[in-house]
Amino acid sequence: MLTKEDIAAWFQHLQDHICQELEKADTVARFQEDTWQREGGGGGRSRIIAEGHIIEKGGVNFSAVYGPTPEKILEALQLDKADFYATGVSIVMHPQNPMVPIIHMNVRYFEMSNGTQWFGGGIDLTPHYVDLEDAQFFHQQLKNVCDRHHPSYYERFKQWADDYFYIKHRKETRGIGGIFFDRLTPGENMSKSQLFSFVQDVGKNFAPIYTYLMEKNKVIPFGTPEKKWQLIRRGRYAEFNLVLDKGTKFGLDTEGRIESILMSLPPLASWHYNYQPEPGSRESYTLQYLQKGIDWLSATDAAM
């Protein structure tokens, strides 16, 4: 029997593994660890990296929190009173070089005393500058993971990411998406251990995917215009996380540890009034790709 404690323990190992791999790839920065207790029950282990060779600011957070389900969550899920247990790993990396993309991953397990159990998670990429080769690589890796578990996963979860990471008020996606899935419940077609095996596969693939993109792009030169654009894109990232992200909202609603929840915010971001990149620029090239429904596996410039 796969228990919530088994899942939490594996997530902790995943956190260790990912931190090691990111430190190796960054070569300079080292994670700082903070452990914390949650008043209602449980706690977490936040690991923060800053001012690295490649990573400007990032976090790899583990938590396992439990207790009576907060009213706001019960209301949102339309559930009766019950205890909950939630465990997961959350990652956001903001690189120094604008040519290296921002990445986010989350894997999580949620269960309630009324028998509810589900897995959720995903990985999505936010390049400051879209590169079709990288986008294809990224989506192909995610498709490979998905295909090992269910033939429909990639298509479903890719679309879910397009819909989820959409900044409605800007009418643009946060980045080039990836996969997103929530409330995957054990049932006839997929057992709990099969679902967990999928989530584990997602988690294990984070480090190889991102360290490849770090290595490949860290050497690309950049200057003031690229830094300016990076700060604008980070502003959009902050907008998404503060206005729309359900994980952030869940954290604030359950009175989670604020510094761990908001580690996702960029080290520096900017907002210009009505900023419009030059037509034909690389910035405006990127904007045309921040849309839902792009088939990244076969995207070529000619297709746009």
- Positions annotated as catalytic residues are 104
In sequence order, the 6+-apart residues with CB closer than 8 A to the CB of 274 are: none
3-state secondary structure of 299: coil
Per rule CB under 8 A, is residue 267 in the interface with a second copy? Answer: yes
35, containing H or E segment: strand 32-37
Structure tokens at 129: 């500058």
Per rule CB under 8 A, is residue 270 in the interface with a second copy? Answer: yes
Per-residue x/- mask for a second copy, residues 101 to 140, rule CB under 8 A? ----------------------------------------
Per rule CB under 8 A, is residue 75 in the interface with a second copy? Answer: no
Per rule CB under 8 A, is residue 271 in the interface with a second copy? Answer: yes
Closest approach of a second copy to the CB of residue 169, in Å: 5
Measured over all CA atoms, what is the biggest interatomic distance in the chain, rounded to whole angstroms? 58
Closest approach of a second copy to the CB of residue 115, in Å: 31
Segment near a second copy (CB under 8 A), from 81-89, 179-187, 202-210, 235-243? 235-243
Pick from 42, 44, 52, 59: which binds a second copy (CB under 8 A)? 59
In sequence order, the 6+-apart residues with CB closer than 8 A to the CB of 116 are: 79, 82, 110, 185
Of 24 and 170, the one with the shorter C-beta distance to a second copy is: 170
- Return the residue matching tokens 């938590």: 63
Per rule CB under 8 A, is residue 48 in the interface with a second copy? Answer: yes
Rounded to whole angstroms, what are the CA distances from 163 to 196, 241, 253, 297?
24, 15, 23, 18
- Return the residue matching tokens 């405006």: 284
